[in-house]
Amino acid sequence: MEVVVVPSAEQVASLAADAVCRLLQGAPGAVLGLATGSSPLALYAELIARHRRGEVSFARARAFTLDEYVGLPAGHPESYREVIRRELEDHVDFGPGAVRGPDGTAADLDRACREYEQAIRAAGGVDLQVLGIGTDGHVAFNEPGSSLTSLTRPKALAQQTRTDNARFFGGRVQEVPSLCLTQGLGTIGRAGHLVLLACGQQKAQAVAATVEGPLSASCPASVLQLHPHATVLLDPAAASAL
């Protein structure tokens, strides 16, 4: 695992954008894995800026999002599919249908998860997966206790995660869904390059457990230790417990 500590959150975003742009410049039809949450927002803003300057095109790329809430109506502003549309997709040149996410509105959630796995495989797998990390060490919505080989499946959200994410729902934790669909740790581990971004003191313990702790389902992000090409980009606060 490559751990890079840079002086600011802007530089975390900039290094992550470098990795995405390098990939797309060499392989314009590459498959990206997109994360939601606040961690990748500066990265997406940077990618939009570079796209507007003509430095990167997504026209031949495809993308798969990591996870989705269950129980939010399609088009809800906090559904992860909408977040990705708003924060990145609408501002760059992805082709129609090029970005997909797990269908949290499906009547048969298990089937939706199986189909999502198949879609990722049919696309040839994810080349570069952007990741954030939860304060409890979760990646995507793989909460502590998740199998390290898990595939896309429905999961219950930990209370900590619902509390953390209440800020996106006007602070009302009761409005945060309690169920989600998430790529598994096994799914994520098949991506060619994992790029995890973490900034801020509140991530310091989870980052330390990920980088220096034992490989354990109690810190799902520790699965990065098994990956042959994992990059962890940190600001000084997120690196402060290393």
The kind and range of the H/E element at 131 are strand 128-131
Question: Residue 227: which residues within 8 A CB-CB, separation 6 or more?
Answer: 1, 189, 194
Can 143 be counted among the known catalytic residues?
A: yes
The answer to the question of residue 66 lying near ligand GLP (CB under 6 A) is yes
The answer to the question of residue 65 lying near ligand GLP (CB under 6 A) is no
Report the nearest approach of ligand GLP to the CB of residue 85 (Å): 16
Query: What whole-number distance in Å separates Cα of residue 137 and Cα of residue 26?
Result: 32
Token couple for 230 = 């994992």
- Which CB sits closer to ligand GLP, 57 or 160? 160
- Which CB sits closer to ligand GLP, 101 or 132? 132
- Which CB sits closer to ligand GLP, 15 or 57? 15
Among 23, 26, 39, CA closest to 198: 39
Report the nearest approach of ligand GLP to the CB of residue 108 (Å): 22
| Half-sphere exposure at residue 150, Cβ-oriented, CA atoms within 13 angstroms | 24
Can 67 be counted among the known catalytic residues?
A: yes
- Which CB sits closer to ligand GLP, 161 or 210? 161
Among 159, 111, 101, 119, CA closest to 135: 159
The answer to the question of residue 102 lying near ligand GLP (CB under 6 A) is no
Can 91 be counted among the known catalytic residues?
A: no
- In the chain, the N- to C-terminal Cα span, in Å, equals 14
| Half-sphere exposure at residue 114, Cβ-oriented, CA atoms within 13 angstroms | 4
Q: Which stretch binds ligand GLP (CB under 6 A): 30-38, 49-57, 117-125, 228-236?
A: 30-38
The answer to the question of residue 161 lying near ligand GLP (CB under 6 A) is yes
Catalytic residues: 67, 136, 138, 143
Which residues sit at the interface with ligand GLP, rule CB under 6 A? 35-39, 66-67, 132-134, 140-141, 161, 165
